[in-house]
Amino acid sequence: MLTLLGHAQIPLLAALLLGGCLTKAIKVVRTRTVAAGLGPTALFPLKLRAPVAVILCVIEFCLGIGLIVTSGRFGDYDPAGLIRLSTGLLFLVATFALIELRSVRPDVGCGCFGEFSQTPVTGRTIARSALLAMATMATMKLGPITLPRWPGPGVGLLLMLIAELLVLGLLSPEIHDVLVRIGYTAPCELRVVQPEQSLAALHRSAQWRRHSALIARQDPSDIWRELCWSYIAFPSQHAGKDAELVFAVRLEHRRPTVLSALVDTASGAVLPWPVGTPRPARIARRVIVRLRPAHHAEPVQAEAAGQQGATL
């Protein structure tokens, strides 16, 4: 039974290594910085953090793949022992690095699983790393993985594996953070959305394809936010007068609502769409177009109706 439990450690360790590498890569893609949220990299000088983070992720990926490849008929040869020894040393070094990180930077998370590991390092995190190091060392002299007979040894192995997963879950603050994220969604009024995200959502919208020809310059003249809406204004022209094409982008994660209106720059009045502009896809509705004080002192309220109304 202990041999079967040792065999079960190999796919478990491989899954943890590959999962850690994947979540770190996702974190890097979202933040556009290599050293963001990778925990132990905070122990290195600023110039070395990015290279160390890349090397750490590559090592985790290679060891995870190596554990899988050497779990079969190559398990009796030297490559399997080398891979398992390297994995054990990785977790052992990580344990001491977490101890040092906790004393030097108690506000930094371990970064083990990217953005899910932002909770400051605690004794549980260190104990988990040490437990994984011991689990890896226990696989050093094991041969190729063999499937247990069912239901005898298989049921016992399954129960022991579930118990181990429960222990790892209790030692993992990431579980709590994931459950909180699943059960909680921040209101759109409090949601942090960068202007670049609103611009990207606007460029993918039907309103942009319908009215972008009216824009005089591709760079927005103003961007501001009011509660759940992000407003983006572009310079335009209407009947020889200066105007602004204002888009309103709802702060939503998927398929945000995008509305639009053509506004006179001098008076703030909502202008009718030029002749030949396709009919708005949405029905008419009562809207409020609010321009910044730098442009207008008072908000302008307009009624959008039929083909000549503001499409917001």
- Give 161-207 as a DSSP string: HHHHHHHHHHT-HHHHHHHHHHH----TTT----HHHHHHHHHTSHH
Give per-residue pLDDT as tens, 180-200: 666 556 677 777 777 888 888
- 64 and 156 share one domain: yes
- 162 and 13 share one domain: yes
Q: Within a domain: residue 153? A: yes
State residue 249 phi and psi, 5-degree precision.
-110, 120
Domain that holds residue 298: 195-303
Q: Within a domain: residue 312? A: no
Are 289 and 302 in contact, with CB atoms under 8 Å apart?
yes
- 12 and 155 share one domain: yes
Give the three-state DSSP class for 82: helix
The residue among 183, 210, 238 that closes a domain is: 183
Q: Within a domain: residue 259? A: yes
Based on the structure, what is the number of domains in the chain?
2
The residue among 159, 183, 207 that closes a domain is: 183
- 207 and 260 share one domain: yes
- 126 and 42 share one domain: yes
Q: Within a domain: residue 189? A: no
Q: Within a domain: residue 261? A: yes
- 150 and 214 share one domain: no
- 290 and 149 share one domain: no
Q: Which residues of the chain have pLDDT under 50?
A: 279-312
pLDDT at 18: 92
What are the residues whose beta carbons fall under 8 Å from the beta carbon of 32, sequence distance 6 or more? Answer: none
- 27 and 168 share one domain: yes
What's the DSSP call for residue 245?
Answer: E
- 109 and 80 share one domain: yes
What's the CA gap between 57 and 152, in Å, rounded? 39
Q: Within a domain: residue 227? A: yes
The residue among 139, 160, 183 that closes a domain is: 183
What's the CA gap between 130 and 88, in Å, rounded? 9
Per-position b or e across 248-276, b if 16+ CB within 10 A of its CB: bbebeeeebbbbbbbbbbeebebbebeee
- 100 and 216 share one domain: no
pLDDT at 276: 61
- 154 and 71 share one domain: yes
Q: Within a domain: residue 308? A: no
CA distances 91 to 53, 75, 212, Å, are 16, 21, 54
Nearest CA among 122, 143, 149, 160 for reference residue 80: 143
What is the distance, to the nearest Å, from the Cα of residue 96 to the centroid of all Cα atoms in its chain? 28
- 54 and 164 share one domain: yes
pLDDT at 63: 92
Q: How many helices (H) and strands (E) does the chain have?
A: 8, 7
Sequence length of the chain is 312
Give per-residue pLDDT as tens, 160-184: 778 888 888 888 877 777 766 665 5
pLDDT at 303: 34
**pTM of model > 0.75:** no
